[in-house]
Structure 1
């Protein structure tokens, strides 16, 4: 409980999204690569019905069943769009991706909504992110974009941020 509270407080202070700190292996089990994501709410409802996250939600132990929902999102590691059942979260000010290594939705700290388009709201639900303008640069993400730190050992000046 203390870890979760600390994570919420730090996220609130930074103005970033609040995401679970724990991996959810149940999410990776539901992952399917897709050519594209739904472009309307109606298409999203249909895709969610086909994916059936509500059935898996009762079995998983990552979150409350009501928060385990359909997402169509860019996968950082696979470099493709995926449909996945994952924890629905409030997103504030940044773009998000799905990271199969950590089995969860991750913020992209160096790509902020305010820097890209009026079509990307400052706050939105992770389950609706695909309905807004695609965050630019997702196809070329680096660990620096994901963490905000340059982990290049040959250039230690960039490691301090």
Structure 2
């Protein structure tokens, strides 16, 4: 084997190793992004959160504000062990671009309570957060969202 041919094979092996490492890092990055969007019991800056009790207490369930949820069946509040469906007494939308509507029934049925995008304040009775839910107390079963630039 000539020196130049051996050098060429060494370079090809090096590129293969770099490509393999790059793909591994990419897979880990994409995997961690998926995990971070899952409910984790922390109401983060891009979440829509339901709380078991009034005043944002008694257990929380955090949903990505960018994703609709057709039913809360099977979801339980973190820290309370209680089902989310028809058991929320306060709520907050922390996302700055998504308006979230929480509904009385699964599959976005019944009357909605609109949660404006975070930082927008209240307008015409619609707010980003509700420390008590009034008529909607213990009534939410699903939500959807609308992008607001």
On whether the aligned pair clears a TM of 0.5, the verdict is no
Q: TM-score category by the smaller chain?
A: under 0.3
Q: How does the TM-score come out when normalised to structure 2?
A: 0.25
Of Structure 1 and Structure 2, the greater helix share is in 1
Q: How does the TM-score come out when normalised to structure 1?
A: 0.24
